[in-house]
A and B are shown apart, each in its own frame.
Chain A
Amino acid sequence: MDKTRRDFLTAAVTATGAVVTRDLAHAQDHDHGHSHQVVPSDLTLRVKSLESLLVEKGLVDRAALDALIDTYENKVGPRNGAHVVARAWADPAYKQRLLTDADKAIAELGFGGQQGEHMVVVENTPEVHNMVVCTLCSCYPWPVLGLPPVWYKSAPYRSRSVIDPRGVLREFGLELLEDVEVRVWDSTAEVRYLVLPERPADTESLSEDALAALVTRDAMIGVAKIVPRREGGST
Chain B
Amino acid sequence: MNGVHDMGGMQDMGPVQKEKDERVFHHSWEGRVFAMYRATGAWHKWNIDAARYTRELIPPAEYLRMSYYEKWYVGLVNLLTARGLVTRAEIESGKPAQGSSKASPPLLAKQIRETEALGASTKRNVSVAPRFQAGQSVRARNINPVGHTRLPRYARGKMGTVDRDYGVFVFPDTNAQFLGENPQHVYAVRFSARELWGEQAKAQDTVYLALWDDYLEPA
Q: A residues engaging B (CB < 8 A)?
A: 1, 12-13, 16, 18-25, 27-28, 30, 36-37, 39, 43-44, 46-54, 56-61, 63-69, 71-73, 76-77, 112-118, 120, 133, 135-138, 143, 146-147, 149-151, 153-166, 168, 171-172, 178-191
Contacts and interface: CB of A to CB of B under 8 A. Distances in A.
Given A43-B73, A53-B96, A59-B40, 19 more contacts: A18-B65, A27-B17, A44-B27, A61-B108, A64-B109, A67-B112, A72-B24, A73-B31, A116-B119, A118-B123, A118-B166, A135-B152, A136-B8, A160-B11, A166-B202, A182-B206, A183-B208, A189-B186, A190-B186
A181 B13 contact: no
B131 interface: no
Contacts of B57: none
Contacts of A156: 13-17
Interface in B98-132: 100, 102-105, 107-109, 111-113, 115-123
A211 B14 CA distance: 35
Contacts of B119: 112-117, 143
Contacts of A71: 112-113, 116
B207 interface: yes
Contacts of B108: 61, 63-64
A15 B5 CA distance: 22
B40 A154 contact: no
A190 B62 CA distance: 27
A56 B123 contact: no
Nearest to A118: B123
22 contacts: A24-B64, A24-B65, A25-B65, A44-B28, A51-B36, A58-B102, A58-B105, A59-B39, A59-B103, A64-B105, A67-B109, A118-B167, A146-B24, A156-B14, A160-B13, A163-B197, A163-B201, A171-B15, A182-B206, A183-B205, A189-B212, A191-B166
Given A51-B32, A118-B166, A181-B204, A64 B55 contact: no
Contacts of A47: 29, 32-33, 73
A114 B104 CA distance: 23
Contacts of A120: 166, 188
A186 B208 contact: yes
B151 interface: yes
Given A59-B43, A68-B38, A114-B120, A187 B210 contact: yes
Closest 6 CB pairs of A and B: A135-B8, A189-B210, A63-B109, A58-B103, A49-B94, A65-B35
Nearest to B211: A188
Given A188-B211, A189-B212, A19 B70 contact: yes
Contacts of A117: 119-123
The number of chain B residues touching the other chain, given as a range, is 35 or more
B90 interface: yes
Given A49-B94, A155-B13, A61 B109 contact: yes
Interface string B132-166: 00000000000000000011101000000000001
Given A53-B91, A159-B11, A189-B212, A149 B67 contact: no
A184 B116 CA distance: 28
Given A59-B40, A67-B109, A135-B6, A37 B17 contact: no
Contacts of B46: none
Contact of A61 (B24, B90, B105, B188): B105
Contacts of A63: 108-109
Contacts of B11: 159-160, 163-164
